Structures are given as C-alpha cells and as structure tokens.
Structure 1
C-alpha cells in the first residue's frame, strides 16, 4: 500500500461525471481518524470524574451521566444524562449486563447501549464486540439478581478505569508502553537481588527471611473477590470485598443482605469482624471467642439529613425516615357533610410537592394548618385512590364546628409530616 500523507492544498485535476471538481490531495474521515488515534487514546475523559458514569435510577432504569470520549479516533459528546432500561430479570437465575459506548462504522454513529448477559447460577460478563465495523468500550457491569425489580448502586461495577475495558483519555500524546518499561525495571530488580544474595551469608539470609515472614504475618491482606464464602469461616486478618448483594445472604452469616466491605482482625484465637454496607449507611460488628461467633451488633453512625425546596427528610440507619414539608393551598371547599355539631369540608390540594426522598411504601401522614383550624384528616392517596411513596394525599378534610365560618378562596400554608421507611 502506498504511503498516505496530508494535509496539502489540492489542485483540481478534472471533473467527475456530475461535474464536481476532482482534487488530487483530497482525504476522507478515515484519514482524519487515523491522526486522532495516534494522538488520543480510546476511553472517556477523566475530568469531570463522572464522565459517562453509570448511576442507578428508578426500577430497572439506569442513568449514564453526560460525558466525552474517544473510540478509535472518533469523538463522542453528550451534554445531557441518558436513561437506559434493563430487560426484565429472570425469576430464578441471575445475570450480568454491560453498559457500553458503541462505535458503528456501518451506521456512522457512537451510542450508549446495554448488552444483556445470559441468566445462569454463576453468571459471567458479556464479552465486548471489537471488529472492523463495531467497537465497544465497557463503562460498567450491572448485576441483575434473580427476580429483581430494581437496580441499586451497589449492583453497578464501574469499569471506566480499566484500560482493557474502557480506559481514561489522559493526554493528547500516546503514553509510554508501560509493558516494556515494567520488563526493564523487573530485569534490573532481579539483577540487584541476585547480587544481594551473593553478598549475604547463610545466617544473614535466614534471618532476613524470618523477618520477612513476621512482616507478612502482620500485614493486612486484601481479597477483592469474596463470592459465596460463609463469613463464619473468614478468620484471617484482612479486608474482603463483597460486590454482589445476591451473595450476601443470612445463611452465609451476613448481617444484612447487602454488598459491602468486611474487615477481619484475628489474633490469638479471637477475631473481630466489621461489615460496612455499601450505600446503606450502617456498620455491623461481631466477635469470635471460645470457637463461637456472637450475634451481629449494628453500630449506628449519624443520621442523614436531605433537604430541597420541598422540605427536609431525616434518614435513620435502621430504615426509618421522617419527612416534613410546607406549601400553600387554596382554601376552596368542594363538598360539605354534617356530622352532629360539626361540618366536614373536603379540599383538593393541587399538585402537592414530592418529598425530598421517596419512601419504599406509602408513609403515615399528619397535617396541620396555620390558623385556628386544628383537625385535619388525610388518607395519603392521590385523587383516584392510588397509594403513593413520593408525595402525600391530594384529598384533605377539615372538621370544624357549625357555628364557625371559613372564607373560601384564601391561600393557607399546610405542614405535612410523614413517617415511613426509606429501606
């Protein structure tokens, strides 16, 4: 193949059959991509840190953050977050899906897509397609448990920093081949260590090895692939990572069904285990003594407060949440009913705002009204009777004595207090 080069000013050498000029130094998009490929590596940009990051949303939906990236010399850029939906979970088997940034030469596009994995008792990640036509970068893997109806952040494994899967664009000039550099350093170390062995006497070498062994006994090991082990059998000092909620079951002696980090400290026949639940805001601890594990005790951190323009929600580690909000309603009665010496008047609060954090089930709500009206009743349903976890009742009732008068069409502030569970 002849050498290709560019760019130079072209000269017109003739016309084609449609009368368009023919240039002697014209080049196409492939040539431009070759230039970019030599300057910019495949991957996503490191700044901001959430470039094309995958986040859990609601139900089986996920959100891919806005970002920029390069795939084989082609540039991809989106200024808005993208919502993708995973397919329905298998009722009995788990699977692992992949979120990819996909280049298609045939379609001339770069798009975000989900590659669904195969349900299995021991699921594996779907492989990437990397051909002349399709080239994919893996942004994240998502563990979809059997029968799952929602995705949590703990189910998502970020793979953007893995060069073999995606990688980070770290500069406009291709980086040094670290494989060759590592081989050079390794060879130099082996030469140095060989000379060290020649200078050590037998007793010195033995003493050095004994000291190394003692250090290894005191070192803190890290195990990143904790799978189906029973935590009762983990009695070696170290840090252990459980990435999959489906593996964290109570019959394997986990404190809760949640992915997280286990730290074990073991010495002289006694052990302590600490389990930090990922994204759950709680830490558990138990002891091993006289060949018996104690029950897990929850260590309570501080409560979490979440506020927005609609109000405030306080989340407690045990799952309880209290949310309060204030907003104005139009005091225009719609129906009347007499109850002895009292009148029941119904009001519709139009478009009540959402709580700062959604409950997992409809909460119990109490209501108070600014002014002299004290008895409010709400059934925590929207108009039509559908329970809701994100806002309170759209239908309220006021009980007042017959001999009092309420002026309609006035704006009054109502305070709503909801108590329920956030997990």
Structure 2
C-alpha cells in the first residue's frame, strides 16, 4: 500500500535542507482528482474553432482553457492556426488538438494533418477541439468544413469537477426500497416496468399517428382548394376576352404552386417551417452589362409555395409556374439554407 499526503509545510533540517518537497506532478495529481479532462466550458469561448474572417487556409482558435491529466492549458485571446495546402487529387480531414506533452513540458494547440485520432500515452495526452475537412484543390476553409468535437467525450468533452462519480451503492439501496414498496402493495416490480414501457410505446404511436393525420388533413385541404380554383377559373374563362383571360392566367402562374424543386434533406427530425425567397440577376449570375436590374440584381421577395414532407428528414417544395426551374444548380449555404440557381433566377429555401 502506498500513501501520499498533500500538501504540508516543509521543515528546515539541521543540515540546511527541507524534509519534504513537492513537484509539478504532485500538483497535477491533486487537480486530476478534482477536474476531469476536457475544455473548461465557462472560460472565454471554450476554445471554439471557427473559420477565419478573411477566408484562407487557416482556422481560428478562440480564447479558453482546458484541463489535461491535471495540467492546465490557457489561451487568453483568439489566434489563427495555419492549415496545409489542399491536395490536388483527394480530400483529407485534419484535426485541431490541444496536446499535453511531458517531454516538452508544455501544452499547446497542434494541427494533425490527415489524422483524426487522439494520442494518449504516458508522456502525451491530447483532446480534440475540431476536425477540418480539406477538399481537393480548395483554397480556403469555410465554416461548413469545420466539425466541433468538444462535446464528444470520447475525444474531448467538458472539464467538470469530479470525473465519473459512482452511485451504484445508492442505486442498489433505492432498488431494494422500491421492491419492498412494490411487495407491500402486492404489485410486481416487473409489471410496473412493463406498464411504463407500454405507456411510452403507445404515446409514441399516438403522437406519430396524430402527426400523420394532421399532414393528411392539410394536404387534403390544399388539394380541395386546388380543384375549387380550377373549376372557378374554367367557368370564368367563358366570360372573359382573350387579353383578360391571359392576364388572369399570368396572375395564377404567379400564385399557384405547381412546379417541384429537387427534394431537400435535413437532420432536424420533424416538419420545419419553410420560407421561400426569389430574386433575379444576382451578382455572379450575369455580366454587369447584361443585368437589366442593375448591380446586385432585383429586389428579394417571398413567393407562394407549398411543402410536401416526405418523412421526418426530407421535404419537397413546389413553386408557381413563373418561377419554374428545369435543372437548377443546388448550393448548400448552411445547415438550414439551400439555394437553387438557374440562368438568371435564384430561389432560396430557409427552414
């Protein structure tokens, strides 16, 4: 058995030396027993990794602090970290880590090119702040290429007082108490658990059924309105001259959502609200001399639309005939914004 006592005053001996001394390892052991490894969530911006304001082959590590095996890493202000140039033949993924190195006697931020593992040995301990995808032939790192790994306890996690506190003894005690209460009331412990599981399963089924019913009802009302407006227009056409009918048809083409855009996938698990914006001749879609609306394109406007939810993770949007696109270029602006571009037309979907 080995016992270690921390920390007591040293006493000066007759020979001029002190009877005890403590090292950095002793202090690290003390803090390791208190704080688990990871990023200090409440310090600065918790070492968040972002794209640089002026996009280039670099990322920015924000201010923050971390605890690694009882040793502390502190960054007082944001600084840029260079990323090696992209390959011309294939994509790669780099990782941004904080490395505690006993041999170097310091902790520091490092880039691991093409490597998303963390080293954890006697001398070196790493936590991973983020991974950075570097597409082939790319010239800059944008926000969508950066994946935050700080919440992942397998490679980083957040530093909190005490690591994994075992409550197995309390669990056993409460389980025994619960069983005794159940026996006293002549109701089996297993029946309570099964009833609860059945209740949860039924609630989930009912919720899914209600959601499907709401969607079906909504689609039915939309279809009924579609039939009604067609019947009304067919009757009205007989009473209008050619120009009036043409103008009315153009107005309907501006209002009635009939033309499908490509399906959109997401990871929100649900049925998000959808907003559809439209403009023409945006910068980069046509030469400046050819833009009838002037530099920057037309004003942005909301357009009528309908949404069909294919499942919990995808949906399709329909727009009026005048905004139809045959084979648009699809660009993902961020996780909740998709842009369709064809010729001088631009449709942006926000959800």
Q: Could you say which TM-score interval applies, normalised by the shorter chain? A: 0.5 to 0.7
Is the CA contact (8 Å cut-off) linking 1:68 and 1:76 kept in structure 2?
yes
* Structure number having the greater helix percentage: 2
- The match for 1:147 among 137, 153, 156 is 137
The whole-number CA distance in structure 1 between the counterparts of 2:150 and 2:14 is 49
Deviates more, 1:129-138 or 1:191-200: 191-200
1:252-291 equivalences under 5 Å are 265-266=309-310, 272=316, 277-279=332-334, 282-284=337-339
1:208/1:6 CA distance change after superposition, 3 Å: closer
Distance 1:272 1:29 in 2: 60
Quote how far apart the aligned CAs of 1:298 are. Answer: 2.1
Q: Distance in 1 between matches of 2:200 and 2:106?
A: 60
Q: Does 1:213 align with 2:213?
A: no
1:237/1:177 CA distance change after superposition, 3 Å:
closer
Structure with more contact order per residue of length (Cα contacts < 8 Å, sep ≥ 6): 2
- Name the CA distance, whole Å, in 2 between partners of 1:53 and 1:25: 41
| Alignment match, 2:165 | 177
Report what 1:24 is aligned to. 19
Equivalent position SS for 1:23:
coil
Query: Within 5 A, what are the aligned runs for 1:103-182?
Result: 103-117=100-114, 126-170=116-160, 173-175=161-163, 177=165
Residue aligning to 1:409: none
Distance 1:284 1:83, change over 3 A: closer
Distance 1:196 1:12, change over 3 A: closer
Tell me the TM-score normalised to structure 1 length: 0.46
Change (3 A) 1:150 1:71: same
Summarize the alignment of residues 62-73 of structure 1 with structure 2, pairs less than 5 Å apart.
62-73=59-70
Q: State the distance in 1 between where 2:111 and 2:267 align.
A: 39
> Could you tell me the TM-score, scaled by structure 2's length?
0.55
Is 2:51 the partner of 1:7? no
Q: What residue in structure 2 maps to residue 90 of structure 1? A: 87
Q: Secondary structure at the match of 1:162?
A: coil
Q: Could you tell me how far 1:134 is from its partner in structure 2? A: 0.5
What are the superposed Cα offsets for residues 209-268 of structure 1, whole Å, 9 maximum, x if unpaired? Answer: 666434345679xxxxxxxxxx8596999469xxxxxxxxxxxxxxxxxxxxxx97237x
Gaps of 5+ in 2: 183-187, 213-261, 272-306, 319-329
Question: Which residue of the partner structure matches residue 194 of structure 1?
Answer: 190
Equivalent pairs, count: 239
1:55 to 1:213, Cα distance in 2 relative to 1, 3 A: same
Asked if 1 retains the 8 angstrom alpha-carbon contact of 2:94 and 2:134, the reply is yes
Q: Aligned-pair RMSD on alpha carbons?
A: 4.6
Q: Return the alpha-carbon distance in structure 2 between the equivalents of residues 50 and 127 of structure 1.
A: 24
Give the 3-state SS of the residue equivalent to 1:32 in structure 2: helix
Higher strand share: 1
1:19-418 superposed matches below 5 A: 21-48=16-43, 50-57=45-52, 58-117=55-114, 126-170=116-160, 173-175=161-163, 177=165, 194-196=190-192, 212-216=204-208, 238=269, 265-266=309-310, 272=316, 277-279=332-334, 282-284=337-339, 297-299=347-349
CA distance in 1, matches of 2:332, 2:88: 25
SS of 2:126's partner is: strand
Residues 184 and 92 (structure 1 numbering): CA distance in 2 closer, same or farther, change over 3 Å?
Answer: farther
Asked whether the equivalents of residues 237 and 266 of structure 1 are also in contact (C-alpha less than 8 Å), the reply is: no
Residue 248 of structure 1 is matched in structure 2 by none
| Cα distance per residue 1:161-203 (max 9 Å; x no partner) | 2222212223xx3155379599879x89999883147779xxx
1:75 CA displacement = 1.4
Q: Shift of residue 22 of structure 1?
A: 3.0
